[in-house]
Amino acid sequence: MVHNSEARMDHDRSAFKAALLYGSHFFEFWKSDLNRAVVEMADIQPGMTVLDIGAGMGAAAFEAVKRDGVTVVTVEPTAFMRTIFKARVAARRLGSRVAVLNAGAQHLPVPSESIDRAWMINVVHHISDLAAASTELARVMKPGGGILIVDEDFTNESHPKYEQMKNRHQNHRGHDDRGPGDSDPVSAGHGHGPDQGGAEEDRPTVPEEHPMAIDFDTLAEHLKAAGFSDIQIRFASLAGVPTRQAMAFR
């Protein structure tokens, strides 16, 4: 009984900490310049079906659905985010055009060759198996379809949250602040995407142990092995923050 009580207390503390973190970043998940920039960069055309992976509260999805005849399929593994996202979809009466699914990049509940464009914003560093995710993305993409992957580079000293994320990583090294099934509230559900005119930056040197340090060259290799082509890796300032980007076509 003591063990069970302690376990419940630990779970409650984790859930409470997660709720506080989600709350502190609420407006970033709701809407952001980065999301708008990614949607613009994705070059969505009328009538397309697009896929938003790690959609959060729907910031990028609501930008995409403004396009004529566009259908948005979203996947989001965090229940808290999905609940708010679904409420927003219902309030706007977009149920026929925006699907909110409980899933992640490695197992997409989406028919093969059904997607014209897809994106991930501040999500790729959560993926444990990049090869499996790349294969799954290739499966759902129509021939000629494109994927855009954007991560804010929190390890870059020019990022406004560099010190915050550095201190958080040092203070919690080896520990996981997330509640069961929750994504990292600082980075899940889109911080947002690219200023198309963003200046190119030097290829970053990133401490390998940093939890948000993704080797985009390795990512490109996985995308190529999965069947993507015309793969472009870019390090640029987007919406006022340094980012790492990968763009590829099926």
Which pTM was predicted? 0.74
Dist. CA 71–CA 116, nearest whole Å = 10
Give the CA count within 13 Å in the CB-facing half-sphere of 151: 21
pLDDT of the residue at 169? 57
pLDDT of the residue at 155? 78
Sort 68 into a burial class: Cβ within 10 Å, 0-12 / 13-18 / 19+. exposed
pLDDT of the residue at 178? 36
Domain boundaries, the chain: 2-249
Written out in words, the top-level CATH class of the domain with range 2-249 is alpha beta
CA distances 93 to 58, 90, 206, 241, 242, Å, are 14, 5, 44, 33, 35
What is the DSSP track for 63-121?
HHTTSTT-EEEEE---HHHHHHHHHHHHHTT-TTTEEEE--BTTB--S-TT-EEEEEEE
pLDDT of the residue at 126? 87
Mean pLDDT, contiguous 10-residue spans, the chain (250 residues): 38 43 47 88 96 95 95 95 94 94 96 98 91 97 97 74 63 42 38 39 51 80 97 92 94
Sign of the dihedral defined by the CA atoms of residues 62, 87, 106, 136, in that order = negative
Structure tokens at 36: 């708008």
pLDDT in tens, 29-69: 445 789 999 999 999 999 999 999 999 999 999 999 999 99
H or E stretch including 245? strand 241-249
CA distances 175 to 6, 21, 79, 133, Å, are 18, 16, 22, 25
Q: What one-letter code names the amino acid at 231?
A: I
pLDDT of the residue at 154? 75
pLDDT of the residue at 93? 95
